[in-house]
C-alpha cells in the first residue's frame, strides 16, 4: 500500500455526533448517582462549572485548528509549541485512555446482552463487536462517521425523551397521579450544597472525567470536509449540546428524586421512564447502554488509529503506521487497536483463574485512564499560549479567538490542577490518579531511553565518519 494522506470525508454532523458519542456514555446513564452522593443537588453547578472548563479547552483547540486542521492536531501542537516529549506523552496517553475504555466497553457489551440472554458467553459478544467495528473503520472514515452518527443519535434521543418526560412529571405530575413534583427536592434533604466545598470538588473530578473524549474533534479535523467551517460549527454547538444533555438530565433526576435515595433506586433513567408508565424501561435503557458501549469502542478504534498514524509521521514508531488503504484509512493502526482490544478481552476471561475476584482490578485499570485523559486538555491550553505568541499575523483576522486570552488559559489550567489535587485526597479516586501517574512516568522513561539510544547511534555514526 502506498503512503497517502487521509481523505477529508467527514461532515460537520459527523464531527458533532462523534464528539457527542465520545463524551456521552454509560457514565451518565448509570453513574449519575455516584457524583450526586458527594455534593447533592449542587451537582448541577458542578456539571456547569466543568462545562465552562470544557468550553475553554475547546475554544483554545478551535483557535489552533482553524489555522492548522490536521490529523493528530493537539499532538502536533504539543510537538511544535511545547516539546516533543509533550507530544509523545499526549499521543500515548490518548491511545492508553481509549484502549482501556474500549476494552471495558467491550466487556460491558457482553454484560448488557445477559439481560436478554443470560447464558450468552461474554467473550463471544466481545469478538463479534470488535470485528464488526474494526471492519467498519477499515471500510472508510465515512462508514465510521455514519455508524457513530447513529450510535450517538440513539443516546441523544433517549436523553431528550427523558428530559421531556421528566419536565412533565415536575410541572404536570405525569406518572404521579397528576400531582406536580415541583422543585422541593433541590433543597429539602439537607440543603443544596449537602457535601460542602470538599464534596463539590470530589464530584467535579468525576464530572471532568465524564467529559473526556470531546477533544476527538481535533482528530476528526484532518478528515473533515471544509475543515475551517466544520471546526467552528462543531465546537460552537457541541459544548452547549453536551451541557444541555448532561445538566438537563441531572436536573430532572435530582428534582424528581430525593438525592439521598438515588442509590437505592438503581438507574435513575430506568426509574424515570418507568414512572410515566413505560413498562419496558429497563430493556430500553439496556439497549441504549449497549449502543453507548459500542459507540465507545468505535470512537476508541478511530482515535487510537489516528494517533498511531501521527506517531508514524513523527518517526516515533514504524513508518508502516502511516500507510493507508485504498479507502484512505490507516489500516495498520485500526488492526493493532482491534488486536489490543481482543487481548484485553482474553485477559479479562483469564483473570478469574488467577484471582479470587477481578472486580477491583478492573475498576483500577478503567479509572487509570482519567489522568492520561486529562493530558490532552493541559497540552491544548499550554500550546495555545505559545501559538498566540508565535503567530501574531494569523490572529489579526482570526474569527474564532480564545475569549479573554491569556487569563482563561491560566484559569482553566489552575482549575485542572486543583481538581487533580482533590482526586488525590479522595479515597475513591486516589488510586486511579496514582496509576495514571505511574503510566505517565513510565512513558517519560521510555521516551528518555529512546532519545538516549538515538543520540548514541548518531554520535557513533559521526565518530565513524571522523
Question: CA 258 to CA 142: how far, in whole Å?
Answer: 44
Q: Which domain holds residue 73?
A: 12-465
* HSE-up (13 A, CA, CB side) for residue 435: 19
Question: CA 445 to CA 451: how far, in whole Å?
Answer: 10
81 assigned to some structural domain: yes
Question: CA 95 to CA 340: how far, in whole Å?
Answer: 11
pLDDT, residue 412, reads: 95
Question: CA 266 to CA 269: how far, in whole Å?
Answer: 9
Residue burial 160-192, b: 16+ Cβ < 10 Å; e: rest:
eebbebbbebbeeebbeeeeebeeebbeebeeb
User: Of 452, 429, 39, 45, whose CA–CA distance to 243 is shortest?
Assistant: 45
Dihedral sign for Cα 402, 403, 408, 412, please.
negative
pLDDT, residue 449, reads: 92
Q: State the DSSP H helix or E strand holding residue 49, giving kind and residue range, or none if neither.
A: helix 43-67
DSSP of 246-295: HHHHHHHHHHHS-GGGGGGTS-HHHHHHHHTT-TTHHHHHHHHHHHHHHH
Asked whether the beta carbons of 226 and 4 are under 8 A apart, the reply is no
pLDDT, residue 51, reads: 87
407 assigned to some structural domain: yes
Coil, helix or strand at residue 315 = coil
2 assigned to some structural domain: no
Phi-psi region of 191 (alpha: psi -120 to 50; beta: other; left: phi over 0): left
pLDDT, residue 170, reads: 92
Q: C-alpha cell of 209? A: 472525567
408 assigned to some structural domain: yes
311 assigned to some structural domain: yes
Sequential pLDDT tens for the chain (466 residues): 444 565 555 666 666 666 666 666 655 665 566 778 888 898 899 989 988 998 899 889 888 888 877 655 788 888 889 999 998 998 898 888 888 878 877 877 877 787 788 887 878 888 888 898 888 888 877 777 777 788 888 888 888 888 898 899 899 988 888 889 898 988 888 888 887 888 888 888 878 877 877 777 766 666 666 777 777 777 777 777 778 888 888 898 889 888 887 766 666 777 778 877 887 777 888 888 788 878 878 878 888 888 888 888 888 888 888 888 887 888 899 999 999 888 888 877 776 666 555 444 555 556 677 788 899 999 999 999 999 888 888 777 788 888 898 999 999 999 999 999 998 888 877 888 888 899 899 999 999 998 888 888 888 877 777 6
Dihedral sign for Cα 74, 224, 100, 238, please.
positive
Q: For the chain, how many structural domains are there in total? A: 1
Question: CA 29 to CA 32: how far, in whole Å?
Answer: 7
Asked whether the beta carbons of 381 and 77 are under 8 A apart, the reply is no
User: For residues 16, 17, 22 and 26, what is the CA-based torsion angle, rounded to 10 degrees?
Assistant: 140
5 assigned to some structural domain: no
Question: CA 312 to CA 318: how far, in whole Å?
Answer: 6
Looking up residue 114, the CATH number of its domain turns out to be 1.20.1740.10
461 assigned to some structural domain: yes
Question: CA 112 to CA 128: how far, in whole Å?
Answer: 14
1 assigned to some structural domain: no
Which residues, at least 6 apart from 385, have a Cβ–Cβ distance to it below 8 Å? Answer: 81, 406, 409
DSSP of 180-243: ---SGGGTTTT-S-TTHHHHHHHHHHHHHHHHTTGGGHHHHGGGBSSHHHHHHHHHHHHHHHHH
* HSE-up (13 A, CA, CB side) for residue 145: 21
Which residues, at least 6 apart from 124, have a Cβ–Cβ distance to it below 8 Å? Answer: 110
Asked whether the beta carbons of 254 and 181 are under 8 A apart, the reply is no
Asked whether the beta carbons of 22 and 294 are under 8 A apart, the reply is no
Amino acid at each position: 500500500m502506498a503512503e497517502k494522506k487521509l481523505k477529508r470525508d467527514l461532515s460537520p454532523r459527523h464531527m458533532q455526533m462523534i464528539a457527542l458519542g465520545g463524551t456521552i456514555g454509560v457514565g451518565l446513564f448509570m453513574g449519575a448517582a455516584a457524583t450526586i452522593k458527594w455534593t447533592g443537588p449542587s451537582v448541577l453547578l458542578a456539571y456547569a462549572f466543568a462545562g465552562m472548563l470544557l468550553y475553554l479547552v475547546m475554544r483554545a483547540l478551535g483557535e489552533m485548528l482553524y489555522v492548522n486542521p490536521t490529523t493528530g492536531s493537539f499532538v502536533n501542537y504539543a510537538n511544535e509549541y511545547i516539546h516533543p516529549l509533550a507530544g509523545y506523552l499526549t499521543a500515548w496517553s490518548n491511545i492508553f485512555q481509549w484502549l482501556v475504555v474500549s476494552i471495558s466497553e467491550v466487556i460491558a457489551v457482553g454484560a448488557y446482552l445477559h439481560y436478554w440472554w443470560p447464558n450468552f458467553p461474554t467473550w463471544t459478544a466481545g469478538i463479534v463487536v470488535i470485528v464488526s467495528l474494526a471492519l467498519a473503520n477499515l471500510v472508510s472514515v465515512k462508514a465510521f462517521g455514519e455508524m457513530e452518527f447513529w450510535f450517538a443519535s440513539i443516546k441523544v434521543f433517549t436523553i431528550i425523551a427523558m428530559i421531556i418526560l421528566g419536565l412533565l412529571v415536575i410541572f404536570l405530575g405525569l406518572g404521579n397521579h397528576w400531582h406536580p413534583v415541583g422543585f422541593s427536592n433541590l433543597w429539602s434533604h439537607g440543603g443544596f450544597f449537602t457535601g460542602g466545598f470538599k464534596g463539590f470538588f470530589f464530584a467535579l473530578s468525576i464530572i471532568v472525567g465524564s467529559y473526556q473524549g470531546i477533544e476527538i474533534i481535533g482528530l476528526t479535523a484532518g478528515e473533515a470536509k471544509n475543515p475551517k467551517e466544520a471546526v467552528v460549527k462543531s465546537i460552537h454547538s457541541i459544548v452547549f449540546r453536551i451541557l444541555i444533555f448532561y445538566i438537563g438530565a441531572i436536573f430532572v433526576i435530582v428534582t424528581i428524586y430525593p438525592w439521598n435515595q438515588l442509590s437505592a433506586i438503581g438507574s435513575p433513567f430506568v426509574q424515570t421512564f418507568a414512572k410515566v408508565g413505560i413498562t419496558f424501561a429497563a430493556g430500553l435503557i439496556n439497549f441504549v447502554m449497549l449502543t453507548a458501549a459500542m459507540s465507545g469502542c468505535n470512537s476508541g478504534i478511530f482515535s487510537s488509529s489516528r494517533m498511531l498514524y501521527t506517531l508514524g509521521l513523527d518517526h516515533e514508531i514504524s513508518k508502516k503506521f502511516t500507510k493507508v488503504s485504498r479507502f484512505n484509512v490507516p489500516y495498520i493502526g485500526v488492526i493493532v487497536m482491534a488486536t489490543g482490544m481482543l487481548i484485553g478481552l482474553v485477559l479479562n476471561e483469564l483473570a478469574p483463574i488467577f484471582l479470587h475476584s477481578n472486580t477491583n482490578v478492573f475498576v483500577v485499570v478503567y479509572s487509570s485512564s482519567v489522568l492520561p485523559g486529562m493530558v490532552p486538555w493541559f497540552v491544548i491550553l499550554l500550546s495555545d499560549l505559545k501559538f498566540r505568541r508565535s503567530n501574531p499575523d494569523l490572529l489579526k483576522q482570526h474569527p474564532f479567538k480564545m475569549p479573554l486570552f491569556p487569563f482563561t488559559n491560566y484559569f482553566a489550567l489552575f482549575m485542572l490542577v486543583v481538581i487533580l489535587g482533590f482526586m488525590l485526597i479522595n479515597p475513591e479516586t486516589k488510586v486511579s490518579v496514582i496509576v495514571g501517574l505511574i503510566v505517565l512516568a513510565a512513558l517519560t522513561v521510555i521516551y528518555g531511553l529512546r532519545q538516549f539510544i538515538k543520540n548514541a547511534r548518531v554520535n557513533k555514526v559521526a565518530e565513524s565518519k571522523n
